[in-house]
Amino acid sequence: MLNAELRIFQQMVRSFANDVVAPVIGDHYEARTFPYEIVSQMGDLGLFGLPFPEEYGGSGGDYFTLCIAIEELARVDSSVAITLEAAVSLGAMPIYRFGTKEQKEKYLPSMCSGQMLGAFGLTESGAGSDAGGTKTTAVRSEGDWVINGSKAFITNSGTNITGLITVNAVTGTRPDGTKEISSIIVPSGTRGLTVGPSYSKVGWNASDTHELAFDDVRVPLENLVGAEGRGYAQFLSILDEGRIAISALAVGLAQGCLDESIKYANTRMAFGRTIGTNQAIAFKLADMEVRTYTARLAYYDAAARMLRGEDFKRQAAVAKLYSSDIAVTNAREATQIHGGYGFMNEYPVSRMWRDSKILEIGEGTSEVQRMLIARDLGVN
Amino acid sequence: MKIAVCVKQVPDTWAEKKLKADTSTLDRESADGVLNELDEYAVEQALQLVEANGGEVVIVTMGPERAAETLRKAISMGADAGIHVLDNNLAGSDAIATSAVLAKALEGRDFDLIIFGSESTDARMSVIPAMVAERLGLAQVTFAQKVNVDGTTLTAERVTDYGFDTLSATLPAVVSVVEKINEPRYPSFKGIMAAKKKPVETLTATDLGLDPSVVGAGAAWSAVADFAARPPKPAGVVISDEGSGGTSIADYLTTSKFI
Ligand SMILES: Cc1cc2nc3c(=O)[nH]c(=O)nc-3n(C[C@H](O)[C@H](O)[C@H](O)COP(=O)(O)OP(=O)(O)OC[C@H]3O[C@@H](n4cnc5c(N)ncnc54)[C@H](O)[C@@H]3O)c2cc1C
């Protein structure tokens, strides 16, 4: 299904994941440390610049190429995969899609090289699925935006190499009384921005997630991304694409569960034979393959539609919903196949199990995906 | 300087390998074809030498149609061009025939240095570099763990049982490298896309002026008479400890002649 270049690229990321990520990521996960050395090498390989043109320091690939990289990384580890996904599709993409030429020239080259990470601040403690419920405000004052409020669960927002957070804030009220939301770039280290301590998470433990507080944070008016009041529409379109990337991540995790389980089923002995010789185990593996394969087709199709310039909203939601669901199922089955060892942190499947659940929550919960699909089917 | 690197497509190192029942040759279709791992070190060495001294790197391979992808992968690490010797009559060639083909492909192209990996993961003979050097009448430094070039002098550390020998040779020369020599780079996405535009020459045995009777399975100096699948691992012996576990283990080890 992939052309020769993409196959070579996929093989390259696969070797990188196996040779560079796999040996050390378990320790980072356990210690909850951010894998700077891995991120820096991913930068050298051009992974952070995949869907961006060379004039901004990008690799000149496309969104599908990014998805292939995310899938291959997630096959070994999700923390590294989400770091890439969030940096590119949430951090850099809004600036590339909606930013001014100056903003792109200023920020994209260092983001494409992986030397600087960008974060996307949408969710608040009281506004997740209902992102329109944003309470953070930005008002104009003496040539600046002055931002007040807070954001919750923001990926890549507190690393040593985080350079900016694109914050979604209320900048006015429409005649019909609804909030007008705009996106504004807040550079890391701006006075009044407080990055909270790392969350204690169930999974994605080698990825960086923080709560952010904004107390009279001042940034110049030119930090507005896109049109004033267009923030809501902008992040919806960013999230539509992002769902394909999260789907790729989920497929990678599902495939990783299968890889580990095949190895284990062919070597683990019980009752004098390998456990894979029991149909109860063999069928689990067959079903894991069926789910992974099907989910992969779903995200390939959504990505292909997007690249052809067709409508892909529904397909992206289907891919995200289905692949996150099967990632959780595969992770549960992989743990089951590994028995007690599957419950031990030193086995990669335990990490996959812990990392799987968030896929049904982040970048739009499964319920939100169903709402989108139903709405697109004309169900009101 | 102008450097050639000879690379081979091999079945994925981690895949289970099988011999074909009809021809007794390796079933290459059943596993993914990948660039022989040691050849990546050879490519890396060539790229480093060219980065330091200027020049160009040409990747050379002999193999079936699908070896083109392996050639591309090697080029995408940063090489400048490729030569693919592609000819159905070459299938089943042994080391002697392969070295004849490679020598013909390399001959007359003014290479200052020809680099090989020290073995392929499928055949593991390590003789091709030496055979090619002999055929071309060039100096050979095999199993190198370090290579330096100064003008027309090559200095290398050749791995031995007792450590290494330091050898020197005058270019042009043939070198084979071991994995200690460097850390091969990963091809970047840009490199992969750029490789698409690099020139690749595809040549047949006839283009190279080879006599068809000296290549291919028919010309091989050795033939596989018979082969059998590896026997399955026997089930282990479980000794339960009812107070005399130690003695039972010692008895078992004695009968198996371990102690
Ligand atoms: C590790 C991690 C990283 C994250 N990274 C980022 C980031 O980088 N940037 C960012 O902006 N956000 C980020 N998030 C936030 C994430 O996108 C939200 O958690 C998610 O959108 C869900 O919002 P919520 O947590 O407020 O849940 P809620 O919206 O409160 O949902 C609670 C439950 O109610 C359901 N529900 C809500 N409304 C409806 C409805 N109308 N009909 C039916 N069911 C409904 C939901 O599906 C869910 O099951 C991250 C979260 C985590 C955990």
- Joined tokens for residue B8: 């081979």
Q: A297-334 burial by CB neighbour count: b if 16+ within 10 A, else e?
A: ebbbbbbebbeeeeebbbbbbbbbbbbbbbbbbbbbbb
CATH architecture of A4-117: Orthogonal Bundle (1.10)
- CATH number (3.30.413.10, 2.40.110.10, 3.30.70.1880, 3.40.30.10) of A118-228 reads 2.40.110.10
Distances (CA, A) of A63 to A53, A68, A116: 11, 9, 20
pLDDT of residue A157: 98
A5 at interface of B, judged by CB pairs closer than 8 A: yes
Helix, coil or strand: residue A274: strand
Mutate to test the pocket of ligand 1, among A198, A328, A361, A379 (most ligand atoms within 8 A of CB): A361
| Residue A205 CB coordination number (10 Å) | 23
Q: Is A378 on the interface with B (CB under 8 A)?
A: no
> Of B69, B188, B189, which has the smallest distance from its Cβ to A7's Cβ?
B69
> Chain A residue closest to B37 (CA)?
A15
Give the pLDDT of residue B122.
84
Which of B189, B196, B197, B233 best tests the A interface by mutation, with the highest count of A CBs <10 A? B189
- A16: contact with B, CB 8 A cutoff: yes
From A83, A123, A324, give the residue whose CB has the most ligand 1 atoms within 8 Å, as the site to mutate.
Answer: A123
Q: How far off is chain B from A5, nearest CA to CA, in Å?
A: 6
Q: Which three-class secondary structure state does DSSP give residue A20?
A: helix
d(CA A127, CA A77): 29
What angle do helix axes A279-307 and A231-267 make, rounded to 10 degrees? 150
Q: What is the dihedral of CA A108, A195, A42, A183, to 10 degrees?
A: -30
DSSP string, A94-118: HHHHHS-HHHHHHHHHHHHTTSSEE
CATH level 3 topology of B2-219: Rossmann fold (3.40.50)
pLDDT tens-digit readout, A17-62: 999 999 999 999 999 999 999 999 999 999 999 999 999 999 999 9
Q: Give the C-alpha distances (Å, rounded to integers) separating B2 from A10, A184, B53, B56, B124.
A: 30, 53, 10, 5, 27
Per domain, the residue ranges of chain A are: 4-117, 118-228, 233-376
Q: DSSP letter string over A161-187?
A: TEEEEEEEEEEEE-TTSPEEEEEEEEE
- Taking an 8 Å cut-off on Cβ atoms, the answer to whether B73 and A61 are in contact is no
How far does the centroid of ligand 1 lie from the alpha carbon of residue A239, in Å? Answer: 13
Contact criterion met (CB < 8 Å) for B72 and A12: no
Residue A9 has pLDDT above 90, yes or no: yes
3-state secondary structure of A151: strand
Closest Cβ–Cβ partner in A7, A11, A46 for B189: A46
CB pairs under 8 A between A and B: 48
- Among the partner-chain residues B69, B73, B193, the one whose CB lies closest to the CB of A60 is B193
Report d(CA B118, CA B141) in Å as an integer: 10
Among the options A180, A310, A363, A367, which is catalytic?
A: A363
Residue A258 pLDDT more than 90?
yes
For chain A, what percent of residues have pLDDT higher than 70?
100
CA distance linking residue B100 with residue B210, whole number of Å? 8
CB contact at 8 A, A136 and A214: yes
Of the CATH numbers 3.40.50.620, 3.40.140.10, 1.20.140.10, 2.30.30.30, which one belongs to the domain with range A233-376?
Answer: 1.20.140.10
CA pseudo-torsion sign A233, A238, A240, A243: negative
Q: What is the mean pLDDT of chain A?
A: 97
Does A299 touch chain B if contact means CB atoms closer than 8 Å?
Answer: no
CA distance B201 to chain A (A): 18
Instruction: Tell me the ipTM for this assembly.
Output: 0.85
Which atom of ligand 1 has the smallest separation from the CA of A90? 8
End-to-end CA distance of chain A: 37
Q: Give the Cα separation of A91 and A84 in Å (integer).
A: 10
User: Which residue carries 């935006």 as its tokens?
Assistant: A145
Cis peptide before B172 (omega within 30 of 0): yes
Higher pLDDT: B231 or A260? It is A260
pLDDT score at B29: 74
> Which residues have CB under 6 Å of ligand 1?
A 86, 90, 119-123, 128-130, 153-155, 201, 204, 209, 358, 361-363, 365, 367-368
- Residue A30 appears among annotated catalytic residues: no
Q: Whose CA is nearest to atom 45 of ligand 1?
A: A367
pLDDT in tens, A84-94: 999 999 999 99
d(CA A64, CA B26): 35
A328 neighbors A336 (Cβ within 8 angstroms): no
pLDDT of residue B134: 98
Token pair in block for residue B146 = 């370090």
**End-to-end Cα spacing for chain B:** 58
Write the CB contacts of A360 (distance below 8 Å, at least 6 apart in sequence).
A324, A325, A328, A366
CA atoms within 13 A on the CB side of B131: 17
B120 touches chain A (CB under 8 A): no
- Taking only the tens place, the pLDDT of each residue in A52-82 is 999 999 999 999 999 999 999 999 999 999 9
Per-residue confidence (pLDDT) for residue B21, from 0 to 100: 79
> What atom in ligand 1 is closest to the CA of residue A364?
21
A145 has a pLDDT exceeding 90: yes
B117–chain A Cβ distance below 8 A for any pair: no
- Residue A177's contacts (CB-CB under 8 Å, 6 or more residues apart) are none
Helix residue ranges, H only, chain B: 37-53, 67-76, 95-106, 128-136, 189-195, 245-255
Taking the C-alpha atoms of residue A167 and residue B39, their distance in angstroms, rounded to an integer, is 49
Residue B23: which of B71, B93, B78 has the closest Cα?
B93
When CB atoms are compared, the residue of B73, B190, B235 closest to A8 is B73
Helix runs in A268-360, H state only: 279-307, 313-338, 348-356
> What value does the mean pLDDT take over residues A347-367?
97
Q: Is A35 on the interface with B (CB under 8 A)?
A: no
Strand-pairing partners, residue A213, are A150, A194
Residue pLDDT tens, chain B, 259 long: 999 999 999 988 777 777 887 877 777 777 778 899 999 999 999 999 999 999 999 999 999 999 999 999 999 999 999 999 999 999 989 999 999 999 999 999 999 999 999 999 888 889 999 999 999 999 999 999 999 999 999 999 999 999 999 999 999 999 999 999 999 999 999 999 999 999 999 999 999 999 989 999 889 998 888 888 888 777 778 888 888 999 999 998 999 888 8
Residue from A129, A165, A204, A321 whose mutation best tests the ligand 1 pocket (most atoms within 8 A of CB): A129
Interface of A with B in 235-294 (CB under 8 A): 269, 272
